[in-house]
Structure 1
Amino acid sequence: MRGATSAKWVVGAVIVAMAATACGGGDDSKDSAGKGGGTFRLGITEPTAIDPYNAQESEGALVAHNLFTGLYSATPDGKLKPELAEAVQTSDDGKTWTFKIKSGTKFSNGEVVDAEAFIRGWTRVVAKESASDVAYPFDGINGYKELNGGTATPFAGLSAPDANTLKVELSAADFEFDKKTVHQAFSPVPKAAGPASNKAYNDAPIGNGPFKMEGSWQHNKSITLVRNDDYGFEKAKLDKVEISILNAANGATLEYQGFQSGQFDWARMPTPQQSVAKAKYEPKKQWVEADTSGINYLVAFNETAPLNNPDARKAISYAIDRDAIAKGVFQGLQKPATSILPPSFADTYQDGVCTSCVKQDKDKAKEYAAKGGLKPGTVLDFGYNTGGGHEEWVQAVAQQLKDVLGLEVKLNGKPFKEALAQQQTKGTSGLWRSAWGADYPTPDNFLFPLLDSGSINPDESGKALGDNRGRYNNPKFDELITQARGTKDPAARAKLYQEAEKLAVDTEQAVIPLWKRTQYRLAATDKFTNVKMDFFEDPNLAEIAAK
């Protein structure tokens, strides 16, 4: 979901905290149309935004995906699913995409969803005054730089030949552009949205999705969604979704306890409790487990000392014993990662592409540290978001870096929203715990936002508005991504993505992969049916029904 995400920055193993007072579960009520009723309850931390112009981390994306429906969505296994795109044409050169939009659908305020609604929404994201952290997926559309830079008002590459036809002109070939539109930033918006500075709309977005807002976002308290009975597709079964916004400072255990008490119908767990929870809830069929399209890794800040050279970054990677932490801290419920691309992308997955990730090697760690200037006693800042169940493994990694390399590791825990802001600041140094869940089903969704120089996207102060928080910058890597996008043959395109990953993740160790992304949740299947984890690692709210 990130990021700062377009990117969707994933909060991690769990999030949560203070108890809400409402009791959990749904009821057996049925409305007059025969749709299942009930209220589904869960907890998140305070999002950055729920308006698609800047919804970025997993929390905000969860809300935006349920308020809005775009051209396409993704199935849990990463297949592209048409939504408002009834048909699509792609030019032979991969630079012109024409989408035929389903007619007759409306926003929840009655406004028609047409091609202009998409142009309005996409323009709103990219406009300079929006200062959006999720503008980067639009980078390949003609006029992006002018609109984002404030020298133009219309989005030159977008047009509507007729009410239900959206034409997109790209500045360079991209044969996977349709997959990018799964991202929530590509949502249509009504005229009522106004500019991104419209706070009333920011807090109560009017969308065209299976749910709509009930009232406004009560910051740091709650967000309530109700079924949108005017939805242009199959209606949601639930009457309501109550989202409690929880204190992220020290909360993993409380979400787990909230599920146990019936307060929540969906829960993430603190890392030390996962094996206990599995033993208790799997026999009850309330355990949800999925290998998702995501990765857990360390951001290494490439521009500033002490990690401003590949040797220093490789020393860090070689010093980490991923197997020991996976077996000890994670109790065997996480698996070490040796790539930045997840196994779910079978055509491009390269097991072991990160040489330094395969096995801890203390001798090589010390060798690269000597070459990279990481002397014993070097101060290394290590940031992570609190309340996400990360404390145990972060401390384990810090201890290994001290034991193997003699580094003075300073742990820097911050609430998730503050953590993302700190990563953006120019001059940030050291390491930062991070995770990435796919926003759209293509390797480009990992390689471009996390590693391409176009995803640094700094503003006048040097703040990185994109998701390349480590500020890795290699023109050869950027060119490989451009070549891959412009390659029509899928097999040849996959090879280019693999070459790019090898360069960034192995040769230059721009980021440090840690664990594959197996996700675990608890679900109140005694009260609800068809509760599953979707492509974005969230509950499939639009398909859940009360028993």
Structure 2
Amino acid sequence: MRRSVIGLIAIAAATTLVAAGCGPTGTSASAGGSAADTSLVYATGEPDHLTPGRQTVAFDQVMALFAPLTWIDNSNKVTDLAAKSVTTTDNKNWTITLRSGWKFQNGEPVTAQSYVKAWNYEAYGPHAWENSGELAEIVGYTDLNPAKGKPKTTEMSGLKATGTDTFTVELTHPDSQFPMQLTQAQTGFFPMPEAAYKDLAAYDRKPIGNGPYEMTEAWKDNQPFTVQAWKGYQGPKAVTQKVTFKSYTNMDTAYTDVQAGNADVVFLPADKMTSAKGDFGDHLYSFDSPGIDYLGFPLWNKKYSDPRVREAISMSINRQEVNKAIYGGLYTPATALTPPDMAGTQPGICGQYCTFNPTQAKKLLAEAGGFSGEMDLIYPGGDGLDSLYQAYANQIRQNLGIAKVVAKPSADWASYYATLTNSTVAGPHFGHWGALYTSQQNTLRSLFTTAGGCYFCTGKYHNDDVDKLMAKADSATTQSEANTYYTQVQKRVLQDFPVVPTFFDRYSYVTSTKVTKLPSIEGSPVISQIKVS
């Protein structure tokens, strides 16, 4: 899936490479035609890398070129793709068996060693590959990433090839969600051929994958490049012969190009949400997604340390009104800490505190001692968020009776992100998490535990009860049991109310009239299954 990731807070959408209704053995129930002589132009941002273990903003391109071990179907079930099976008896020790006959696009066989070598190379700290953290649960990862000095080994002890098509993975703790982590968007789990290591810089420009498309030319900075359907792919065949990825620095320009027919698909820019229906009609597509927006808080600041202050702010926001005015009605007001397309999520679990009620909001604020001084709402400048945060500021000021509430953008993303990591953010602030796999685990662990990697995104919130409940979910023997513990996690976090859930995202796209079908998984287009006239 395509995810435009900025730091650890994913402002996300996605592109998966396998389609709903497509079996993992190479037949496609939804393809319905030949890929001959068909093409489309896919508008994206400029890639950072095309190597799976390195990319952070090139999900579209990388997942057209590679296939994951597992994938998520439209009913949120994990299905094997490049893997024949992913099995365990204790959620800690896993055996992965590959489908035989799979090859890379240069003819090399895809073997267990293709994964083991790629994962070890990526995890080796001195290489500083961006997606290394996705492998952090594997035993031996810390040996490759010591706190001081150079690693004394180049291989994780918990990762072993036990046969041509079989390898084992030992995790540091039981994790019932591991098969889901091997799906589409966690590109750090993808394999690489032996040819890659001969010249990694060249490989980054023209990677050799195991997916539905292969490169026809090397990627050059700020230049379009084309991929073509690969005849040797063992998964669901591509229905469009060629896809040209065209990068834009301004997505409003991309939007205009799609209108003019100079490009065919683009993720809907935020400032076009209210006009897209009128501009594109039936060629506006809006999908449920694994993303959620929220307001975070500097929990160390006495002004925001009382949960009743945070609850009052939440209840003072008329989400329905904001949705209509800012998002053109495309989003859904949040009523939980995870979006409804994640298995086990209970919409409405947030209860009264996610419901607009200015009278009760004022009462809560008064019980907490009121609010003195100026309230600053902080958000990254330059990302099209001005109208949204001005609307929040106006509603909080009017509905809570606070004299001065100001929407304050940072100079850019980097300066905003720094205020989170160094704990200097001045007030309620922008938050978004686009999960990399559709399990509540990804969002809850990332935002509400110190081990999740983005706890500073929520004011460094931490609660021992939450950690214990997450551990129980990891050890669960069934998904239903895990979901029971995730529900308990949500209830416990909401007792503290460290964030204000605002919206469940819907990932929206507009297309040219050339596109006749835009299938999706996890809220994002399946590039290989897009049909064009």
Shorter-normalised TM range: 0.7 to 0.9
Q: Does 1:481 align with 2:470?
A: yes
1:167 Cα shift? Answer: 0.8
1:63-121 deviation digits (Å, cap 9, x = unpaired): 22212112112224433221111123211x22111111012222223332111111122
1:247-266 deviation digits (Å, cap 9, x = unpaired): 24xx43x3332221111211
2:168 is aligned to 167
Write the letter of the residue equivalent to 2:490.
Answer: E
TM-score of the aligned structures, taking structure 2 as reference length: 0.83
1:488 Cα shift? Answer: 0.8
In the TM superposition, 1:457-536 aligns within 5 A as: 470-504=459-493, 506-524=494-512, 526-535=513-522
In the TM superposition, 1:47-58 aligns within 5 A as: 47-56=47-56
1:188 is aligned to 191
- Partner SS, residue 162 of structure 1: coil
Write the letter of the residue equivalent to 1:486.
Answer: S
- Partner SS, residue 113 of structure 1: coil
For residues 168 and 115 of structure 2, the distance between their equivalents in structure 1, rounded to whole angstroms, comes to 10
Write the letter of the residue equivalent to 2:473.
Answer: A
**CA 1:63–1:270 in 2, change beyond 3 Å: closer, same or farther?**
closer
For residues 127 and 313 of structure 2, the distance between their equivalents in structure 1, rounded to whole angstroms, comes to 37
1:141 is aligned to 138
1:325 Cα shift? Answer: 0.9
For residues 415 and 197 of structure 2, the distance between their equivalents in structure 1, rounded to whole angstroms, comes to 30
Write the letter of the residue equivalent to 1:539.
Answer: P
Residues 107 and 113, structure 1, Cα contact 8 Å, conserved in 2: yes
Q: Does 1:540 align with 2:529?
A: no
Match of 1:89 among 79, 87, 90: 87
Residues 347 and 494, structure 1, Cα contact 8 Å, conserved in 2: yes
In the TM superposition, 1:288-367 aligns within 5 A as: 288-302=285-299, 307=304, 310-353=307-350, 355-361=352-358, 364=361, 367=364
1:19 is aligned to none
Match of 1:101 among 71, 89, 98: 98
Residues 341 and 348, structure 1, Cα contact 8 Å, conserved in 2: yes
2:35 is aligned to 35
- Between 514-523 and 440-449, the greater mean CA deviation after superposition: 514-523
1:383 is aligned to 379
Q: Which structure 2 segments of 5+ residues have no match?
A: 15-32
In the TM superposition, 1:175-324 aligns within 5 A as: 175-182=176-183, 183-194=186-197, 198-248=200-250, 251-252=251-252, 254-271=253-270, 273-274=272-273, 276-279=275-278, 281-282=280-281, 285-302=282-299, 307=304, 310-324=307-321
Aligned length: 505
- Partner SS, residue 119 of structure 1: helix
1:238 Cα shift? Answer: 2.6
**CA 1:528–1:61 in 2, change beyond 3 Å: closer, same or farther?**
same
1:373 Cα shift? Answer: 8.4
Residues 42 and 243, structure 1, Cα contact 8 Å, conserved in 2: yes
1:519 Cα shift? Answer: 3.1
Residues 390 and 406, structure 2, Cα contact 8 Å, conserved in 1: no
**How large is the Cα RMSD of the aligned pairs?**
3.4
- Between 211-220 and 513-522, the greater mean CA deviation after superposition: 211-220
- Partner SS, residue 156 of structure 1: coil
For residues 344 and 38 of structure 1, the distance between their equivalents in structure 2, rounded to whole angstroms, comes to 32
- Partner SS, residue 329 of structure 1: helix
2:423 is aligned to 427
Residues 316 and 365, structure 1, Cα contact 8 Å, conserved in 2: no
- Partner SS, residue 504 of structure 2: strand
Structure 1 stretches of 4+ with a deviation exceeding 6 A read: 5-8
Residues 451 and 468, structure 1, Cα contact 8 Å, conserved in 2: no
TM-score of the aligned structures, taking structure 1 as reference length: 0.81
**CA 1:541–1:482 in 2, change beyond 3 Å: closer, same or farther?**
same
For residues 42 and 102 of structure 1, the distance between their equivalents in structure 2, rounded to whole angstroms, comes to 31
1:494 Cα shift? Answer: 1.3
**CA 1:518–1:215 in 2, change beyond 3 Å: closer, same or farther?**
same
Q: Which structure 1 segments of 5+ residues have no match?
A: 14-32, 457-463
Write the letter of the residue equivalent to 2:64.
Answer: N
2:389 is aligned to 394
1:157 is aligned to 158
**CA 1:310–1:372 in 2, change beyond 3 Å: closer, same or farther?**
farther
**CA 1:111–1:407 in 2, change beyond 3 Å: closer, same or farther?**
farther
1:437 Cα shift? Answer: 3.1
- Partner SS, residue 503 of structure 2: strand
Write the letter of the residue equivalent to 1:426.
Answer: N
Write the letter of the residue equivalent to 2:331.
Answer: Q
Residues 6 and 55, structure 1, Cα contact 8 Å, conserved in 2: no
1:469 Cα shift? Answer: 6.4
- Partner SS, residue 86 of structure 1: strand
For residues 4 and 157 of structure 2, the distance between their equivalents in structure 1, rounded to whole angstroms, comes to 27
Write the letter of the residue equivalent to 2:193.
Answer: P
1:302 Cα shift? Answer: 4.2
